[in-house]
Structure 1
């Protein structure tokens, strides 16, 4: 895409792309055209994982680094873009969230400088009932990505024992996210309790390396299991989203086998991920919400 403006057709939808030469990562010289091409390259893998999920978009009209703003409410949008009306409990009003159910919507969002795409842990229309449990591993310095990788391997082993299918992805920063599809029947407090109990198990196994404490001082030098990220209308970085950090890193799904190898989160970025996908480096994941937590609670010694 060398032209400053272009009109493309994606899935039968015509999209006007503007300011294609604008740098959205100035130091890396990544243009809006590069961002659009990236999201086009990952669309077939990304869209099924975010389908029917309200989105919270982090827009960077002036690029990275630069001022950004988070947009939840979209009163203005192409007529073919799906919108979910979600009652905001904090604002006490209905908010019009974009729902990305096709490649055309993803390309339109990229053209709107939505560099970072964050998703609900629930799907429409039952947005108050989560169909994904999130395990968020966040290393607090001097703990590092390497420390988070070690704990991620232990979390993976525990979830395998519990027979819970899960997607593991880098956060795009220093941590990991585990997305566990579940039947949308559990109160938020129950999901949060499950993740807390899993975190406590990790804490018992490695007390010097893991923390579930809500006190920030207790987390220093440890990997924090942030169970509170399982909250009503909270979001998580979507699989394959770019993150607004140096090098244009990606929140990238990984094979569990990678956890016992040495790798860096920065390996997965706007430049490298399309090639990884071309080589078949990522298995498809079934996000169907068909798992219960009942057996997992029993494994943890807790009765619902």
Structure 2
């Protein structure tokens, strides 16, 4: 707390805007920006560090003398938090949308979640710590850097007495390790690290990180066990969701007062179920269990997650009403999936089940890592549902590495002796009239067959083999001069997106796993390859004519100095581009990853994802939502625009 107090800026009196300020509409609720759990504290002055509060995340909408308080789910809890209203209602005669956390402070100066629950019911004093300003006087501030948003917020709130229910959440810039040590020694939750230059994104991002002093998270209550006397509740049976199933995570029987036990038991009895809501539960636990509908969410502290996925030394902290049970998943440090998901034994078992003999399964395939051939098989099993949408039944180019050191990789487009049958081979007739030998896969067995053949990259045509003359997508490959930074590549992608959007064509970004970005445009298979390639060439030349200092449409590296080559050659029949979710033949086991446009604005490099983080993303929602439903054609008017 002392470290945070030392960071406070020049004290200002709490202020209220002029009474002549026009009345503005109450700002609407927006999705919250959420943090990614990590164990490492980021370094550098481009990070701001704040105290991690133990309370309810809230969004406050203010206009004149009116204020509304919204929970993380967008529910209006103004009445429940009415003790905060006097300070909020008098803050400004204009309007504001403020992000922050509602807390109760115990006698030791710590935020206390259990006290907060009591305070909501009993009306004891609570505090709202404001840490972000999303809207002010009708202006959307989300695109401003965080450091600027916080400066505006601090000016708006001004200096306040410590007893005031509205407080500004101060921060320190850089030196996050020292602040974390201070927080942990003081018995606090931990710290939040935020990129000083980042915009506000209503999603979970890596520009906001949480570093905890102790392990603690939410779990879904799926049942309870009675005490040995048969009266009352001994413990809660807990789980988290994984792939739509409730997975057993253990029990918690400590941390309750008798009153809490009675109150929770009353809620459990109204939710009784005859059968278990879990995917599986140990027999000795199930024998005495009472099952309930998985609706209640408990916050639990614990020492660690055991290798079998259960809690060790759990302690109950309280029930949460601000998070739906369906959203509760097991948090893991960093953006990577637990390596258990990519267990090499699982990779071997998958290969065997599919009839693929995985030889040298323990061979390390990325020097300097522990990633083996078996890891790669497990990875493709984890992402196959996502990847096969882009891969199956499309002619392929493969990049193989038989030496396992990334020094002698080679392309392959045709069948060679010894290849597994799951890697299909055949012929098709191209537009030129020539027959062409092709490879393709249809299922996970094909992917695992590729792993057996040391395939590290999967490059695909933009058309299916059944309609080889009609492409289903265009790819704009942004290939920068090696002296350009990722920020230049990223800005080029945004510019290409905007121009395509003006032409009525929606696009989706793919970070390549190397240095570049692909802007991908799905198409109804209607125009043939010559039309699509000509459009892409005209588009690239249009950019090069309009901004010759930034873009070049000539692939010559000698002429590319300081500029970006927009590679339109990916769009000819027979040409291929890296498949989304494919690994790359690059150090570290990086992956070509589909991202959203908002995410792209937060990424620091095109090789930000490895097989572990990619496998984790594959278990969540499809970030290319709407891609396969897009009904887009290259109309003649659109083609005429780029011809000019």
Structures share fold, TM-score greater than 0.5: yes
**After the TM superposition, which residues 61-210 of structure 1 pair with which residues of structure 2 at under 5 Å, given as runs?**
61-74=402-415, 76-79=418-421, 81-87=423-429, 94-97=436-439, 99-210=440-551
CA displacement 1:256-278 (0-9 Å, x = unmatched):
11233342222111232112333
1:284 offset after TM fit, Å? Answer: 3.9
Change beyond 3 A, Cα 1:61–1:261: same
CA distance in 1, matches of 2:347, 2:494: 46
Aligned-residue CA RMSD (Å): 2.9
CA distance in 2, matches of 1:59, 1:214: 25
Q: Which residue of 2 aligns with 1:296?
A: 638
CA distance in 1, matches of 2:507, 2:443: 23
CA distance in 2, matches of 1:5, 1:262: 30
Shifted more, 174-183 versus 198-207: the winner is 198-207
Q: Which residue of 2 aligns with 1:39?
A: 380
Q: Which residue of 2 aligns with 1:277?
A: 618
Is there any run of 5+ residues in structure 1 with no aligned partner, and where? none
Q: Is the 8 A contact 1:58 1:68 kept in 2?
A: yes
1:94 offset after TM fit, Å? Answer: 4.4
Q: Is the 8 A contact 1:8 1:16 kept in 2?
A: no
Corresponding position: 1:8 with 2:350: yes
Q: What SS class does the counterpart of residue 477 from structure 2 fall into?
A: strand
Change beyond 3 A, Cα 1:37–1:3: closer
Q: Is the 8 A contact 2:360 2:373 kept in 1?
A: yes
Number of aligned pairs?
299
Larger RCO (alpha carbons 8 Å, 6+ apart): 1
CA distance in 2, matches of 1:254, 1:8: 28
CA displacement 1:117-140 (0-9 Å, x = unmatched):
111122112324322222111001
Q: What SS class does the counterpart of residue 23 from structure 1 fall into?
A: coil
Is there any run of 5+ residues in structure 2 with no aligned partner, and where? 1-342
Q: Which residue of 1 aligns with 2:594?
A: 253
Q: Is the 8 A contact 1:164 1:291 kept in 2?
A: yes
Shifted more, 113-122 versus 281-290: the winner is 281-290
Q: Which residue of 2 aligns with 1:211?
A: 552
TM-score where L is the length of structure 2: 0.43
CA displacement 1:157-194 (0-9 Å, x = unmatched):
12222222333101221111122222334343322221
CA distance in 2, matches of 1:48, 1:179: 14
Q: Which residue of 1 aligns with 2:563?
A: 222
Which of 16, 19, 23 is the equivalent residue of 2:360?
19
